[in-house]
Chain A
Amino acid sequence: QVQLQESGPGLVKPSETLSLTCTVSGGSMTNYYWSWVRQPPGKGLEWIGYIYDRVITNSNPSLKSRVTISVDMSEHQFSLKLSSVTPADTAVYYCARHQALAAAGSLYYGMDVWGQGTTVTVSS
């Protein structure tokens, strides 16, 4: 059974770079999209971005210029870097796997495996 675990600093200073890693265990990383999602305090979920097949990435336009997502298949990890953080970036950060799911002859993507989440606070 695939499991994901986020790790990284719980406190980041304003203007610095937030760095998180997601370790994948119990399964392969190939042929999947791997995403980051966050939830600010008292708010809903926000998709941050994904990486696929080592080099294909996409991110939320609201964050795009600040987001870097990378993968290290040999270490079974993928990572998030969010630069120039402000207190508005304080959130629980989740990593997740997109699974291609078949229905009515088509493929649909849903995030079927998630990490437990890690809280990151941006404060001086």
Chain B
Amino acid sequence: DIQMTQSPSSLSASVGDRVTITCRASQNINTFLNWYQHRPGKAPNLLIFAASSLHRGVPSRFSGGRSGTDFTLTINGLLPEDFATYYCQQSNSFPHTFGQGTKLEIK
């Protein structure tokens, strides 16, 4: 199985801040990388696919990047509704493994 390692596991930030979450794959997955937002008690929400493509309806303050097997999710100008847990997921091969999650909390 491909292992996905996210960092940090938790992050404190303020409204208006810019934050970056990193996800590293244990082997080459090209750009087969998704990012999800998960709020407590809600269904996960697909934000980004193909490492950097915004899913429809996702605000442009979210962006994704890739360097080799390292991937980033950046949120520019945090809004109150962005405080949630974020997961990366590789879709290169089954099982489609998730990272362990990054909890973004209000400072």
Contact = CB atoms under 8 A, between A and B. Distances in A.
B55 A45 contact: no
A43 to B, nearest CB: 8
A110 B46 contact: yes
Nearest to A101: B49
Contacts of A106: 50
B50 A94 contact: no
Contacts of A47: 89, 95-98
Interface string B19-61: 0000000000001101010100011111001100101000000
Given A45-B87, A108-B91, A111-B46, A101 B53 contact: yes
A45 B44 contact: yes
Interface stretch (A9-17, A18-26, A72-80, A112-120): A112-120
A85 to B, nearest CB: 19
Given A45-B38, A59-B95, A109-B96, 20 more contacts: A44-B98, A44-B101, A45-B89, A45-B98, A45-B101, A94-B43, A101-B49, A103-B49, A103-B50, A104-B50, A108-B31, A108-B50, A110-B34, A110-B46, A111-B46, A112-B55, A114-B43, A115-B43, A116-B43, A117-B43
Interface of A: 37, 43-47, 50, 58-62, 94, 96, 101, 103-104, 106, 108-112, 114-117
Interface of B: 1, 31-32, 34, 36, 38, 42-46, 49-50, 53, 55, 87, 89, 91, 94-101
18 contacts: A44-B101, A45-B36, A45-B38, A45-B89, A47-B89, A47-B98, A58-B94, A59-B95, A62-B95, A101-B49, A101-B53, A103-B49, A106-B50, A108-B50, A111-B34, A111-B46, A114-B43, A116-B43
